[in-house]
A and B are shown apart, each in its own frame.
Chain A
Amino acid sequence: MSMGKSLCVAALALAFAGAASAADHPGLGKPVSETDLAVWDISIGPDGKGLPPGSGTPAQGATIFAQKCEACHGKEGIGGSNAALANAPGKNERTMALYVPNATTLFDFIRRAMPWPQPKSLANDEVYALTAYILARNKVIGDNDTMNAETLPKVQMPNRNGFVSRYPDKH
């Protein structure tokens, strides 16, 4: 390799390094720790990663549901103005508990978005209890099962394998 060519390669390497260096970027983002982001980081993976401490049972959830959810979702999750969360006798609809592939989705959505007028107002125990209540109303879990960070990701959802990616080449 001639000296000229090796210099050229070195210059090229430097150029690439420079393109990714902080000097070429505004660098105006402020470093933040995951600890400082903890109250924002409410997303829960299907494996249960991110689930907080706490627990709840269907019986506890029934009481909370009557107080905070019934107005929109109907008595025991039936006949409300918004999404039915359980099937009326003789009905066989795909309610959320019978449709989504992971039980963690119920916990995540209830915690971040419900009740509609006061999202994020529920304590973690209340979210576990409501999740347990809805799962039990759909006979996905037993009436005496307790939901917590250990048990929730292990719930066998009836539609666990019902989904296929429409465009697998895109991810």
Chain B
Amino acid sequence: MTSKQVTRAPDAPDVARNGLLDRRALLGRGIAIAGAVGTGASLTSAAAEPLPVDPWSLGPGSNLPPYGQPMKYEDKVVRTLTNPKFEPRTSQARTPHHLLNGTITPAGLHFVVARTGFPDIDPAKHRLAIHGLVKQPLVYDLDALSRYPMTSQIHFVECGGNSAPLYNKDPVQANVQAIHGLLSGSEWTGVRLSTLLEETGIDPKGKWLLAEGADGPSMNRSIPIAKALDDAMIALYQNGERIRPEQGYPMRLLVPGYEGNMNVKWLHRIKLIEEPVMAINETMQYTYRVAGPKIWQFFFPMEVKSFVTHPSPGLTLKGPGYYEISGLAYSGNGRIAKVMVSADGGQSWGQAALDAPVLSKALTRFRMPWRWDGQPVVLQSRAWDEAGNVQPTREQMFAERGEPKINVPVTAFPMGHMNVITSWAVDGKGELKHVYG
């Protein structure tokens, strides 16, 4: 048995004000940083008490369940629900990003927006029809699709209305789950839509396709044929298992990087058409009034965004010393190129480390070593994508869209595609709150 040698390390250099450290401190120098905890605390004080042998080390454990569940102590790691009594309206469930780490969201914690809950679809009776402006309309059942060549891709799905509370006039007092929880990341496995469209053939007049679910309200969206032929997928599996019922069991459309509502769940029909159908979800909803008389429609890709998950409101810092600032960055237009972190409200910035692999249209975890001196600070992150897009400041976005004038609850959607910088203020006690930096 080997024991790691713990040595007092020279301080890692600060790369930006208020204690942001060089990201290279994370690479192979973790021990060294740990040695610097508490800025001067002696190493001997950390091992003051003798360690007992606990009861779980003195007997057998529990029998294995057929389907494993999270540890009972983790019962607070759940989605928040907006319609727990299932009243006749839309239900939302938000992902607890402050209680998760990494980039893959457990399927049971994936966010949901559902108009009438989720349907109980018999997989043996489910059918996918592709018709309209095709050469040969075809119907597929799940058994048939399961024999097609498949691909596994890691992608985020984000509701077009995620982060909408950032468009409030005053900073809403809510945590990262309430503000950014309509976003999740998964590995999706399924059949490329282009494979099926090669079988049906495409009439050159078919410039769009209508995707429709088998749910009660038959949720539908119009999608450009270019996206369908590029990287769209009929997803059958999520994180290795069949898609969860709330995510579209037994199949959903995946249009990577495009707003969540277009990733039609419980997919049962694709119709090739000449012009968009102007469905309620692309006219009344998922359209946004901006400065001037115009209303933006067909928003499609979710723009580059990042936010800090650790620490964030609710995760109180336990005194000065070393912490890791980490969060999520992503872009519907490709890979994340760079994430910068600030601990002084955006005056100075240090470059964060990105966990590999950095994938296109997928959640990317960024990390930044930080030594907090106990003074009030404001934490921010800002992302760049490989297409050259930069996450905007509030001022930049509002110059184009108009200043927010009202405050609405976190469950309302005064604006969509809100990808401005998020700011968390840390007070002298280590408590965090949402502010406008």
Chain A residues with Cβ under 8 A from B224's Cβ?
170-171
The verdict on B77 contacting chain A, using a C-beta distance below 8 Å, is no
Given A22-B199, A108-B279, A112-B218, 10 extra CB contacts under 8 A = A28-B147, A32-B129, A41-B131, A100-B283, A101-B278, A112-B220, A113-B217, A119-B217, A163-B294, A171-B300
A-B contact pairs, 27 of them (CB 8 A): A22-B199, A26-B148, A28-B148, A31-B137, A31-B138, A32-B137, A32-B138, A37-B137, A40-B268, A40-B269, A45-B273, A72-B88, A81-B89, A105-B283, A108-B277, A109-B284, A112-B218, A116-B89, A119-B217, A164-B296, A166-B297, A166-B298, A166-B300, A167-B298, A170-B226, A171-B207, A171-B226
Sort A-B residue pairs by CB-CB distance and give the 9 closest, nearest first. A29-B138, A113-B217, A28-B144, A171-B224, A116-B88, A166-B296, A109-B280, A112-B218, A163-B297
> What class of interface size applies to chain B in its complex with A?
35 or more
Contact of A5 with B by CB under 8 A: no
Contact partner, A27, options B199, B278, B298, Cβ 8 Å: B199
Given the interface contacts A46-B278, A104-B278, does A82 sit within 8 Å of B89 by beta carbon? yes
CB neighbours of A113 from chain B (8 A) = 115-116, 216-218, 280
> B residues 184-222 with Cβ under 8 Å of A?
195-196, 198-200, 207-208, 210, 212, 216-218, 220
Q: Which residues of A contact B115 (CB under 8 A)?
A: 113
Chain A, Cβ-Cβ closest to B297: A163
Residues on B with beta carbons closer than 8 Å to the beta carbon of A25: 195, 198-199
Residues of A contacting B: mostly: loop
**Is the CB–CB distance between B212 and A43 below 8 Å?**
yes
Q: How far is the CA of A101 from the CA of B282 in the complex (A)?
A: 10
Interfacial residues, chain A to chain B (CB-CB below 8 A): 20, 22, 25-34, 37, 40-47, 72, 81-82, 96, 99-102, 104-105, 108-109, 112-113, 116-117, 119-120, 159, 162-168, 170-171
Query: How many angstroms between the C-alpha atoms of A159 and B278 in the bound complex?
Result: 13
B130 within 8 A of A: yes
Q: Chain B, 269-289, contact with A by CB distance < 8 Å: what is the 0/1 string? A: 101010111111001100100
Interface status of B74 (Cβ within 8 A of chain A)? no
Residues of B close to A33: CB separation below 8 A: 137
Q: Which residues of A sit under 8 angstroms from B138, Cβ to Cβ?
A: 29-32
- CB pair B300–A81 under 8 Å, yes or no, is no
Residues on A with C-beta less than 8 A from B208 are 171
Interchain nearest-CB distance for B203 vs A (Å)? 13
The A-B contact count (CB < 8 A) is: 156
Which of chain B's residues have a CB closer than 8 A to the CB of A108? 277, 279-280
B298 touches A170 (CB 8 A): yes
Interface centre among B130, B208, B277 (most CB of A within 10 A): B277
- Shortest distance between the CB of B331 and any CB in chain A (Å): 14
Say yes or no: A99-B275 contact (C-beta < 8 A), given A26-B144, A29-B140, A43-B220: no
Q: Which of B76-105 contact A (CB under 8 A)?
A: 87-89
Chain B nearest CB, measured from A16 CB (Å): 13
144-195 of chain B: CB within 8 A of chain A: 144-145, 147-149, 195
When the two chains form their complex, are residues A96 and B284 in contact, meaning their CB atoms are under 8 A apart? yes
Q: A108–B298 Cα gap in the complex (Å)? A: 19
With both beta carbons as reference points, the residue of chain A lying nearest to B268 in the complex is identified as A40
- Is there a chain A Cβ closer than 8 Å to B406's Cβ? no
Q: How far apart are A50's CB and chain B's nearest CB, in angstroms? A: 9
